[in-house]
Amino acid sequence: MRAYLPDYEMITAPSLQGALEVLARGEFRPFAGGTDLMVLFEAGKLSHHKWLSIWGLDELRGIRVEAAHIAMGALTTYSQIQRDATVQAEFPLLIEAARLTGAIAIQNRGTLGGNIVNASPAADSPPALLVYEAELELVSCVGGKIVSRWVSYRDFHTGYKSTLLKKGELLRTIRLPRTLGAEKGWVQHYRKVGTRKAQAISKICIAAAARVEGAKITDARIALGSVAPVPMRCLKTEAYLRGKDLGLAASWMGEARAVIASEISPIDDIRSNADYRRGVTQNLLEEFVKKLSSGSTR
Amino acid sequence: MSKSSVAKRVPVSFTVNGKSHSLEAPAMARLLDVIREDIQLTGTKEGCGEGECGACSVILNGELVNSCLVPVIQAQGAKITTIEGVAQGDVLHPVQKAFLECGGAQCGICTPGMVLASLSLLEKNPNPTRDEIREGLAGNLCRCTGYMKIFDSVARACGSQQ
Ligand SMILES: Cc1cc2nc3c(=O)[nH]c(=O)nc-3n(C[C@H](O)[C@H](O)[C@H](O)COP(=O)(O)OP(=O)(O)OC[C@H]3O[C@@H](n4cnc5c(N)ncnc54)[C@H](O)[C@@H]3O)c2cc1C
Ligand code: FES
Ligand code: FES
């Protein structure tokens, strides 16, 4: 059933400081592009009633390129991400995630910050952000001043739909270190498995990167969506892959598949089931290793 | 939560198809409903009401959006184009003409959204490939045409021979 409109309130704030002051009082919650929240609203499932629109806060928007990082404002949309030359050149996993999220109209309104804080285990950008070892800046207003803290994105999701974000806090910045360049031998790979190309929520998605020197994998980062209560890094599989000779992949692939299957905890839900997710995860790993062997960099 | 029967209204102004409008609406009313009911432009359609189908597409500050997902307060000060703003009087836009010529519209429910999504695509990419046309329209569902005639329409509108 549709929401009963008179029950809801939405206000705006003129500045980040003003927004944080409102949020500090505890009654209002942040509302960005609305592509998650409006769907709940429409379905009559939006249980909170007072919303602060942060969409107008331009200080939370845009991509800044620094020497060691790129810093993206939380309100940066998928469309803005796809247009950015530095992201295109250095963060192809994020470009792919953005391109495969919803369709154009969703990409024009959906924000990276909203995707992170919404904390769906099936979201498409978290695996990319995990591979890039993103850092998040969380801000709040204490005694009339903006206070900021940085947390590692890897620690942000503390359980199904729960995060380190405290009441009254906003996600301000997503920072990605510029470390996985192709010139350093890193190969990157992203694949989303869903029912159709556009608009589909993932059944599984993988973001991965590995450093290959000669025929040897010297470093690896692998992250998955939809196979655990939170988007996850596959640390055991990464450790297993380090030092492996790609020339001998046929001899260790079976073991690698077993390792990745042992560290995920997929479930049955409306989009897929645990067995399918386990099998496809193994296939996705194998596909990634084949790409490493083929010597292609993208 | 106590039920009040009348939603609190806030002032909002924006332009639709070049004409300014100032009105009062509940802040969280969907832009879709305000366009259809308050401004009485019913060319913008509601299909799914959840961002999936694109029937409610409008162009908001130069970008294609689903108006069912936009609370009206976020359109404060915006420039909006709806399907009613696409033709110049009686003269159809080339995209609209192409839809007529290629049978890109049947029942017509998806057509306003399809046309706006096509305009938005062609503005960014005047010579899209067939794949780019598919990707540009991937957020717009059609139950009638089977899509091929729609893709043909867009190709015809940009003068491509595909
Ligand atoms: C048709 C459709 C298709 C979709 N397809 C995909 C898909 O393929 N992949 C995918 O991952 N997602 C998809 N989504 C989900 C959604 O578009 C994304 O999660 C999007 O990134 C959400 O961003 P938003 O700004 O719209 O968030 P909102 O709906 O505004 O907010 C989402 C949550 O984040 C909180 N929030 C937002 N910004 C901040 C901030 N700066 N600080 C603190 N809290 C904040 C809000 O309080 C809320 O809890 C789809 C949605 C629709 C409707
Ligand atoms: S009615 Fe808005 S996308 Fe379907
Ligand atoms: S023409 Fe009927 S839905 Fe497209």
Please tell me the residue having the least CA distance from ligand 2 atom 3. Answer: B51
% of chain A at pLDDT higher than 90: 90
Beta bridge partners of B30: B71
% of chain B at pLDDT higher than 90: 93
Going by pLDDT thresholds of 50, 70 and 90, the confidence category of residue B160 is low
Interatomic CA distance for residues B101 and A58, integer angstroms: 43
Nearest chain B residue to A197 by CA: give it: B138
| B69 to A31: CB separation less than 8 angstroms, yes or no | no
Tell me the pLDDT tens digit for each residue of B55-76: 999 999 999 999 999 999 999 9
Interatomic CA distance for residues A122 and A105, integer angstroms: 20
CA distance A194 to chain B (A): 14
Would you say the C-alpha torsion B88, B91, B93, B96 has a positive or negative sign?
positive
Would you say the C-alpha torsion A38, B110, B39, B48 has a positive or negative sign?
negative
Helix, strand, coil distribution of chain B in percent, nearest 5: 35, 20, 45
Contact of B3 with chain A, judged by CB distance below 8 Å, is answered with: yes
What are the phi and psi torsion angles at B103 (to 5°)? Answer: 70, 35
**Residue A24 near residue B23, CB atoms below 8 Å:** no
The finding on whether A171 has its CB within 6 A of some atom of ligand 1 is yes
| B139 to A103: CB separation less than 8 angstroms, yes or no | yes
% of chain A at pLDDT higher than 70: 99
The token duo for A236 is 């055991």
Of the candidates A7, A12, A55, the beta carbon closest to that of B3 is on: A7
Q: DSSP alpha helices (H): ranges in A243-273?
A: 249-263
Contacts of A49 (CB under 8 A, 6+ apart): A7, A8, A9, B1
* Interface probe with B: pick from A12, A38, A46, A53, most Cβ of B within 10 Å: A38
Going by pLDDT thresholds of 50, 70 and 90, the confidence category of residue A271 is confident
Interatomic CA distance for residues B97 and B157, integer angstroms: 8
Interatomic CA distance for residues A37 and A41, integer angstroms: 6
B73 CB neighbours in chain A (<8 A) are: 10-12, 53
The finding on whether B140 has its CB within 6 A of some atom of ligand 2 is no
Rounded to two decimals, the ipTM of the complex is 0.95
Interatomic CA distance for residues A96 and A206, integer angstroms: 11
**pLDDT over 70 (residue B14):** yes
What is the separation of C-alpha B80 from the centre of its chain, rounded to a whole number of angstroms?
A: 10
Going by pLDDT thresholds of 50, 70 and 90, the confidence category of residue A297 is low
**Residue A176 near residue A184, CB atoms below 8 Å:** no
Of the candidates A8, A42, A197, the beta carbon closest to that of B138 is on: A197
Q: State the fold for domain B94-158.
A: DNA polymerase; domain 1 (1.10.150)
Ligand nearest to the CA of B110: 3
Please report the atom of ligand 3 found closest to the CA of residue B150. Answer: 4
CA distance B132 to chain A (A): 12
Nearest chain A residue to B116 by CA: give it: A105
B27 CB neighbours in chain A (<8 A) are: 8-11
Output DSSP code: residue A206: E
Interatomic CA distance for residues B109 and B119, integer angstroms: 17
Residue A161's region, left for phi above 0, alpha for psi from -120 to 50, else beta, is left
Domain ranges of chain B: 6-84, 94-158
Q: Are strands A50-53 and A29-31 parallel, antiparallel or unpaired?
A: parallel
Interatomic CA distance for residues A33 and A24, integer angstroms: 21
The average confidence (pLDDT) of chain A is 95
Residue the block writes with tokens 């692998």: A222
Which residue type sits at A136? L
pLDDT of residue B84: 98
Going by pLDDT thresholds of 50, 70 and 90, the confidence category of residue A8 is very high
Interatomic CA distance for residues A91 and A81, integer angstroms: 10
Interatomic CA distance for residues A71 and A189, integer angstroms: 22
Beta bridge partners of A207: A190, A223
Nearest chain B residue to A12 by CA: give it: B73
The finding on whether B52 has its CB within 6 A of some atom of ligand 2 is yes
Of the candidates A2, A41, A104, the beta carbon closest to that of B139 is on: A104
Contact of B6 with chain A, judged by CB distance below 8 Å, is answered with: yes
Going by pLDDT thresholds of 50, 70 and 90, the confidence category of residue A80 is very high
Q: Which CATH superfamily is domain B6-84 in?
A: Beta-grasp domain (3.10.20.30)
The token duo for A219 is 């470093």
The finding on whether A106 has its CB within 6 A of some atom of ligand 1 is yes
**Residue A54 near residue A76, CB atoms below 8 Å:** no
Mean pLDDT within A205-212:
96
pLDDT of residue A298: 54
Nearest chain A residue to B64 by CA: give it: A105
Please tell me the residue having the least CA distance from ligand 3 atom 3. Answer: B142
Nearest chain B residue to A201 by CA: give it: B52
pLDDT of residue A183: 79
Mean pLDDT within A27-44:
97
Q: How far is the CA of A251 from the centre of ligand 1 (A)?
A: 42
Q: Any idea what the Cα angle at residue B68 is, between residues A226 and A11, rounded to 5°?
A: 95
Interatomic CA distance for residues A133 and B12, integer angstroms: 42
Which residue type sits at B109? I
The finding on whether A124 has its CB within 6 A of some atom of ligand 1 is yes
Mean pLDDT within B90-97:
96
pLDDT of residue B3: 57
User: Considering only CA atoms, which of B72, B7, B28, B27 is closest in space to residue A6?
Assistant: B7
Of the candidates B5, B29, B51, the beta carbon closest to that of A106 is on: B51
Interatomic CA distance for residues B146 and B79, integer angstroms: 33
**pLDDT over 90 (residue A76):** yes
Q: How far is the CA of A15 from the centre of ligand 1 (A)?
A: 21
Q: Are strands A50-53 and A9-12 parallel, antiparallel or unpaired?
A: parallel
The token duo for A143 is 């005694």
Contact of B51 with chain A, judged by CB distance below 8 Å, is answered with: yes
| A104 to B26: CB separation less than 8 angstroms, yes or no | no
Q: Hey, what's the torsion of the CAs at B107, B29, B72, B83, to 10 degrees? A: 10
